[in-house]
């Protein structure tokens, strides 16, 4: 007589083994993503490539001198999407830290970190509405037709960066600056500064950031094309030979003439006493012991709406064509993000 297990017990054993197998598979899956760099790569692939191509990763972190700055940008101050779960986004703190680590490493190495094969992304796509998408929905079909280029002109700008730059200037800059012949914004200015201004905008002015990574509409290559057009015009002191059809200003759109809400940035906070020591060590040989000026200009009369932001920008980026180099560590300088804030606080105190 054979011994037969009750059917209920058999089903229980099968279910138990199935759950164990699932747990083992899940543990292996999570084990790969427990490495912060791998998790960051996985999050970038699953979330960021919807707006940024895979090649853009190097540039997403280059404008930020610390992980905290980049993390703040991903939490809504710089990115079109607020990724922080605390503010309604999809990522928790550890996930944000992993994404920041991955982007900073990419920027430092100049290439995407090699993390090996990544787990598959979830099949269901998380749909997050952005301001940019809402603006696109408000654009009428008539406006799209007006801005559409004929195939021949489209091919022209694809093969001619200068023509592309002139076209982009007309479409994006004309409404405020009119033709470049009238504006001459790049007169006597280094190309690097022109590109930075177009990319980042100008704090406390109506000049917004045009970089897609800072909430604008243009890719890095398109920003480069506009800068090339500006600098070519300055070199020739005349209009470059570009097809007239590409230089036709866009149709009037009242929405584009509404005043922009000026960006608000919190004040730079640092230790003034530590800043005084850093200033004495690195700055006084050019700017004087008390910032009164020597080889470099006086730092006691900085005329700016935001002395702290202006000063920090100079310290981070330097002044092209002068002895003032960049002092930020990620630009080859000697000061950490905290050191920069401490030094800025001291210099701001001088202006009080």
How far apart CA 65 and CA 317 sit, in angstroms, is: 10
How far apart CA 163 and CA 247 sit, in angstroms, is: 9
Residue 7 domain-assigned? no
One domain for residues 236 and 288:
no
Q: Which pLDDT score is estimated for 127?
A: 47
25 alpha-carbon distance from chain centroid: 37
Q: Which pLDDT score is estimated for 163?
A: 92
One domain for residues 250 and 156:
yes
One domain for residues 219 and 314:
no
Q: Which pLDDT score is estimated for 129?
A: 45
One domain for residues 245 and 283:
no
**Are the C-beta atoms of 111 and 58 separated by less than 8 Å?**
yes
86 compared with 224, residue with greater pLDDT = 224
Residue 128 domain-assigned? no
Q: Which pLDDT score is estimated for 139?
A: 44
CA angle 352, 339, 272 (to 5 degrees): 30
Residue 158 domain-assigned? yes
Point out the domain boundary residue: 257, 283, 304: 257
Q: Which pLDDT score is estimated for 29?
A: 43
Residue 253 domain-assigned? yes
**Phi, psi dihedral angles at 211 (to 5 degrees):** -70, 135
Q: Which pLDDT score is estimated for 78?
A: 65
Q: In this structure, what CATH number is given to the domain that contains residue 279? A: 1.10.760.10
DSSP 253: -
Residue 72 domain-assigned? yes
Point out the domain boundary residue: 196, 229, 257: 257
**Are the C-beta atoms of 331 and 294 separated by less than 8 Å?**
no
Q: Which pLDDT score is estimated for 126?
A: 47
How far apart CA 123 and CA 234 sit, in angstroms, is: 51
DSSP 114: -
| CA proximity to 67, closest of 30, 99, 44 | 99
Q: Is the pTM of this model over 0.85?
A: no
62 compared with 321, residue with greater pLDDT = 321
Question: Residue 186: which residues within 8 A CB-CB, separation 6 or more?
Answer: 194, 230, 231, 233, 234
Residue 59 domain-assigned? yes
How far apart CA 183 and CA 176 sit, in angstroms, is: 9
One domain for residues 147 and 102:
no
**Are the C-beta atoms of 210 and 223 separated by less than 8 Å?**
yes
Q: Is 302 exposed, middle or buried (0-12, 13-18, 19+ CB in 10 A)?
A: middle
Overall number of domains in the chain? 3
How far apart CA 205 and CA 171 sit, in angstroms, is: 20
Q: What is the mean pLDDT of residues 302-311?
A: 84
CA angle 140, 135, 99 (to 5 degrees): 145
CA angle 83, 85, 86 (to 5 degrees): 120
| CA proximity to 99, closest of 71, 65, 130 | 71
Which residue segment(s) compose the domain that 315 sits in? 272-351
Q: Which pLDDT score is estimated for 146?
A: 45
Point out the domain boundary residue: 65, 85, 118: 118
CA angle 215, 46, 216 (to 5 degrees): 10
Alpha-carbon dihedral of residues 148, 153, 157, 160, nearest 10 degrees? -170
DSSP 249: P
Mean pLDDT, rounded, of the chain: 79
Residue 177 domain-assigned? yes
Q: Which tens digit of pLDDT belongs to each residue from 172-230? A: 888 888 888 888 888 888 888 899 889 888 765 678 888 887 778 888 889 999 999 99
**Are the C-beta atoms of 107 and 40 separated by less than 8 Å?**
no
pLDDT at 344 over 90: yes
One domain for residues 307 and 203:
no
One domain for residues 324 and 281:
yes
How far apart CA 206 and CA 204 sit, in angstroms, is: 7
Q: Which pLDDT score is estimated for 136?
A: 45
Residue 244 domain-assigned? yes
Which among 58-72, 105-119, 315-329 has the top mean pLDDT? Answer: 315-329
Q: What is the mean pLDDT of residues 158-177?
A: 90
One domain for residues 161 and 73:
no
One domain for residues 147 and 243:
yes
One domain for residues 101 and 172:
no
Q: What is the mean pLDDT of residues 12-38?
A: 58
One domain for residues 319 and 234:
no
One domain for residues 251 and 285:
no
User: What does the block give as tokens for 1?
Assistant: 């007589």
Three-state DSSP class for residue 211: strand
């Amino acid at each position: 007589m054979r011994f037969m297990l009750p059917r209920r017990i058999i089903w229980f054993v099968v279910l138990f083994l199935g759950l164990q197998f699932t747990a083992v598979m899940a543990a292996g899956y999570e084990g790969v993503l427990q490495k912060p760099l791998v998790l960051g790569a996985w999050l970038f692939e699953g979330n960021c490539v919807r707006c940024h191509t895979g090649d853009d990763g190097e540039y997403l972190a280059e404008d930020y001198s610390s992980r905290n700055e980049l993390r703040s940008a991903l939490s809504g101050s710089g990115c079109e999407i607020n990724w922080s779960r605390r503010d309604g986004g999809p990522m928790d703190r550890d996930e944000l830290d992993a994404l920041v680590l991955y982007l900073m490493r990419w920027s430092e190495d100049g290439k995407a970190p090699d993390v090996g094969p990544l787990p598959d992304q979830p099949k269901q796509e998380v749909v997050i509405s952005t301001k940019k998408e809402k603006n696109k929905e408000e654009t009428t079909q008539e406006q799209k037709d007006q801005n559409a280029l004929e195939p021949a002109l489209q091919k022209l700008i694809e093969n001619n960066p200068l023509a592309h730059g002139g076209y982009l200037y007309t479409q994006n800059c004309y409404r405020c600056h009119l033709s470049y012949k009238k504006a001459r914004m790049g007169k006597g200015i280094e190309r690097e500064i022109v590109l930075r201004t177009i990319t980042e905008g100008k704090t406390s002015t109506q000049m917004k950031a045009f970089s897609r990574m800072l909430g604008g509409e243009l890719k890095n290559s398109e920003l480069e094309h506009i800068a090339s057009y500006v600098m070519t015009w300055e070199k020739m002191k005349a209009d470059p030979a570009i097809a007239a059809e590409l230089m036709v200003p866009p149709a009037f759109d009242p929405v584009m003439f509404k005043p922009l809400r000026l960006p608000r940035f919190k004040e730079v906070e640092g230790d003034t006493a530590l800043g005084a020591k850093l200033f004495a060590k690195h700055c006084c040989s050019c700017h004087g012991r008390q910032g009164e000026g020597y080889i470099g200009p006086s730092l006691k009369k900085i005329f700016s709406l935001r002395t702290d932001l202006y000063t920090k920008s100079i310290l981070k980026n330097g002044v092209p064509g002068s002895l003032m180099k960049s002092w930020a560590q990620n630009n080859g300088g000697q000061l950490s993000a905290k050191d920069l804030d401490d030094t800025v606080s001291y210099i701001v105190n001088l202006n009080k």
